[in-house]
Homo-oligomer: A and B are copies of this chain.
């Protein structure tokens, strides 16, 4: 199945959800991957993908390497293989690989094309679509980067067969995010169906990607509605930052972040307690963490201001409005936030 995404500037690309078919590129191609994915699936990829000149660059695995040094590794490989402006990068891995490959492509010789072949559930349902690329630094997550859309996204569910259970859960967290913020029916479907079943997960990927495509096509650069996709992320980013990106997978931090956002939404009267429990139960069904001990509430609060969505010293929160709808607001009182955080203290 194919989901098309058309951007405000009328460029468009296809997201294909299916087994990979044979593709040939009449250019130089560099595949960016990591040792884990490469060990499991590089041979499979090489059977499908061929090019005029194909080379592989393997970068270290993990969020802690999502930095400028690793970008330099990718760029140096490209320079040494004399990639030109018509060359192509292929992101072959999870969200970290996708974000970094996209960013490297956006700045190599002022921008070349790239495609996404996401191998984790999280990157298949969310990260690989939409053109957000970037790296972390000491100030926070994804604070340096670019909007650079891929030329295509190829989602092959076969890669999920080797995905560790925790990473599978992290992907489901982002699926839940899409449902809570935009689609009540989808949420109910998620409550009733087992996402470890292959046919179900394909449906869930399609539904998530369709939701994301619709949002991004309206607001590529996140000046409005796209911010809603950050539900759970405002809190989640602080959690990741406080734990040095080591304790939680991104999707897990988002899981906790959604629970926190729901607590705040409950406090300001946007959601019922019963609805917050339904979200929590759905997350826990897949063993996604839903609790976190905040060490210093004031410190946690200060961290919000490094978020890209914070403008004029106001924090932008994405809060569910019941299930299936949400509000984007920077009018939440500091006291309400602090009190909500204290409940996690």
Binding site for B on A (CB under 8 A): 9, 68, 72, 75, 79, 82, 84-86, 106-111, 132-134, 137, 139, 142-147, 221, 305-306, 308-313
Residues of B within 8 A of A311 (CB): 84-86
Q: Are B146 and A107 in contact (CB under 8 A)?
A: yes
Residues of B within 8 A of A142 (CB): 110
- Measured CB to CB, the closest approach of chain B to A223, in angstroms, equals 9
A305 to B308, CA, bound (A): 39
A133 to B143, CA, bound (A): 19
Interface residue from B9, B85, B144 paired with A75 (Cβ < 8 Å): B144
- Measured CB to CB, the closest approach of chain B to A73, in angstroms, equals 13
- Measured CB to CB, the closest approach of chain B to A298, in angstroms, equals 17
A306-B79 in contact given A110-B132, A146-B146 (Cβ < 8 Å): yes
A311 to B313, CA, bound (A): 47
- Measured CB to CB, the closest approach of chain B to A6, in angstroms, equals 15
A142 to B134, CA, bound (A): 20
Q: Are A308 and B85 in contact (CB under 8 A)?
A: yes
**Smallest CB gap from A84: residue in B:** B311
Interface residue from B72, B110, B147 paired with A145 (Cβ < 8 Å): B110
**Smallest CB gap from A103: residue in B:** B107
A276 to B312, CA, bound (A): 57
- Measured CB to CB, the closest approach of chain B to A89, in angstroms, equals 14
Residues of B within 8 A of A68 (CB): 68, 72
